[in-house]
Amino acid sequence: MVTDEKFIENVKEVMHRVENGWFSQHIEVWTNNIGLLELKTIVN
């Protein structure tokens, strides 16, 4: 699903930034996948 793919790409970008010390990053992409929304809540 395209939305899930965009979501996962956004997560990868955020995690890369956090890894480099930018801790104020948030996942911005929306998805209908409940599991991915739970991940978004945990990460944000």
pLDDT confidence of residue 3: 86
pLDDT confidence of residue 1: 65
Q: Are 38 and 22 in contact (CB under 8 A)?
A: no
pLDDT confidence of residue 11: 94
**pTM value > 0.85:** no
DSSP line for 19-41: HTT-TT-------S-HHHHHHHH
Question: Is residue 33 left, alpha or beta, with left meaning phi > 0 and alpha meaning psi from -120 to 50?
Answer: beta
pLDDT digits (tens, 9 = 90+) for 1-44: 678 999 999 999 999 999 999 999 999 998 999 999 999 999 99
Per-domain residue ranges for the chain? Answer: 2-43
pLDDT confidence of residue 6: 93
